[in-house]
Amino acid sequence: MVSILRNRTYAHLFTAQVIALVGTGLATVALGLLAYDLAGADAGAVLGTALAIKMAAYVGIAPVVGALAHRIPRRSLLIGADLTRAAVALALPFVGEVWQVYVLVFLLQSASAAFTPAFQSVIPEVLPDERDYTRALSLSRLAYDLESLFSPALAAALLTAIGYHLLFLGTVAGFLASAALVVSSVLPKPVPPARTESAYARATAGTRLFLATPRLRALLALNLAVAAASAMVTVNTIVYVRDHLHRAATDVPLALGAYGAGSMVAALLLPRVLDHRSDRSLMLPGAFAVSALLGLLAAAGAAGSGDWRWPALLASWAAAGAACSAILTPTGRLIRRSATPADLPAAFAAQFSLSHGCWLITYPLAGLLGAAAGLSVTALTLGALALTAALLAARLWPALDTARLPHVHTALDHSHPHLADARSTGGGWQHTHDFVIDDLHHHWPSAAPAR
């Protein structure tokens, strides 16, 4: 897997991603301590609001940046986002009011919403080979999982020697280092869109692409299944460990670590598996596994006491992490297979926005339902939501999902260059090629003829 790091451009971009992730992790810890200083016992409400602002920025800003990405040099966009994040992190230690935290969090996450989809859309062009790209996706998944384990430990170690305000300087350093690595990278020139559209049309292009492509419609449902599981883990692990199992606070990171460990093991194994298996054959079982695991957790919560519940939780969280990784890791492959190079920025921006929209639904649901009805009901509800999403994805995603599809053009003139290999039929001109939604193909062949 690490052989792809021999590609200098990818190695620089991957290192930039890892360093920025560590900086973000330090900021997360420092932000929690800052919120406690400003709001005391209401720090949870402050952080909850900040999380909602983060998700709103992700959902709203990413499509707008995706619409403008073709007008901004890629390197300038990535560096500008990193410098913006560094400036915001530098300002955070000096805030004195809660509303200032909210403003800066919005600016910080808006810059992240610009950086991440643009970064993701570059990688398939840097690594055009499918095997190399699959390994890059696994490395990216590992980076996210390792950051969730490493950053809190690093923050804890640093806090023994420095005040939490100085952690923000680590965040600044991370974003500046990321920007420097992007500067040193030679990025491929983006393919400009062939059509001229309004700003609104460009901003919604990625979403329209998702809705028009069966495998991407299925991906929307799979995003909801992942969000159901991650919301249960992120929001309610501490409640389950402390209040239901009556275990020490030090066991909370162990439970969260089990989820991360499961995800990492799956990410390590997936490249070789995907050499022989289709994305569909892994992602759909992953969604059904998520639903089953949440159902088992609900049953365990209703079963009463017992020492077996702690190892059962660790095993369930590890399995849930593996199942979510089986869904998330191949996502980039689906998007690249479903879009032209010119539409990749819009497609990745849509995935970024729509997936976080799912989390914007499930995170409050997990928290509010857990407080009102208990964890068993919450796990059962989220499990039912994941099951519904899995069934919907299985229905939307054709079992035979081939890239080359026969289709008929009825609106193109017979002299159009695209029809060079087409043959005349009663209703138009038919030919077969790798099919994606674009200027010449507005509808999926199974739904309607291309126009």
Spatial CB neighbours of 149, under 8 Å, sequence gap ≥ 6: 257, 260
Please spell the DSSP secondary structure of 162-181, one letter per residue.
Answer: S-GGGHHHHHHHHHHHHHHH
Residue 146 inside a domain? The answer is yes
- 92 and 182 share a domain? yes
- 163 and 307 share a domain? no
**CA-to-CA separations, 437 to 210, 212, 318, 342, 434, in angstroms, rounded:** 9, 7, 37, 12, 10
**CATH for 181:** 1.20.1250.20
Of 133, 166, 190, the residue at which a domain comes to its end is: 190
Angle at 192 between CA 191 and CA 196, to 5 degrees: 155
Cβ-in-10-Å burial (0-12, 13-18, 19+) of 213 comes to: buried
- 384 and 420 share a domain? no
- 393 and 307 share a domain? yes
- 351 and 209 share a domain? yes
- 206 and 286 share a domain? yes
- 296 and 423 share a domain? no
What does each of the 451 residues of the chain score in pLDDT, given as a tens digit? Answer: 678 888 999 999 999 988 988 888 888 778 878 887 887 767 666 776 787 888 888 888 888 877 776 678 888 889 999 999 999 999 988 988 888 988 998 999 899 988 988 888 899 989 999 899 999 999 998 888 887 777 777 877 888 888 888 888 989 999 999 999 999 988 887 766 666 666 677 778 889 999 999 999 999 999 999 999 998 988 888 888 888 888 887 788 788 888 988 999 999 999 999 988 999 999 999 999 999 999 998 888 776 666 788 899 999 999 999 999 999 999 999 999 999 888 888 899 899 999 999 998 898 888 888 888 888 899 999 999 999 999 999 999 999 888 889 999 988 888 898 988 889 887 789 999 999 988 888 889 864 444 4
- 389 and 409 share a domain? no
- 431 and 383 share a domain? no
**CA-to-CA separations, 361 to 271, 365, 367, 407, in angstroms, rounded:** 31, 6, 11, 38
Q: What is the DSSP letter of 240?
A: I
Residue 157 inside a domain? The answer is yes
Q: What is the DSSP letter of 407?
A: E
Spatial CB neighbours of 317, under 8 Å, sequence gap ≥ 6: 233, 237, 255, 256, 258, 259, 262
Q: Hey, what are 85's tokens? A: 């994040």
Distance separating alpha carbons of residues 285 and 387, to the nearest angstrom: 11
Of 190, 208, 231, the residue at which a domain comes to its end is: 190
- 420 and 392 share a domain? no
Residue 195 inside a domain? The answer is no
Helix (H/G/I), strand (E/B), else coil: 275: coil
How much is the pLDDT for 192? 66
- Report the number of distinct structural domains present in the chain: 3
- 68 and 152 share a domain? yes
- 356 and 450 share a domain? no
- Full residue range of the structural domain in which residue 406 is found: 402-451
Find out whether 10 and 188 touch, Cβ atoms under 8 Å: no
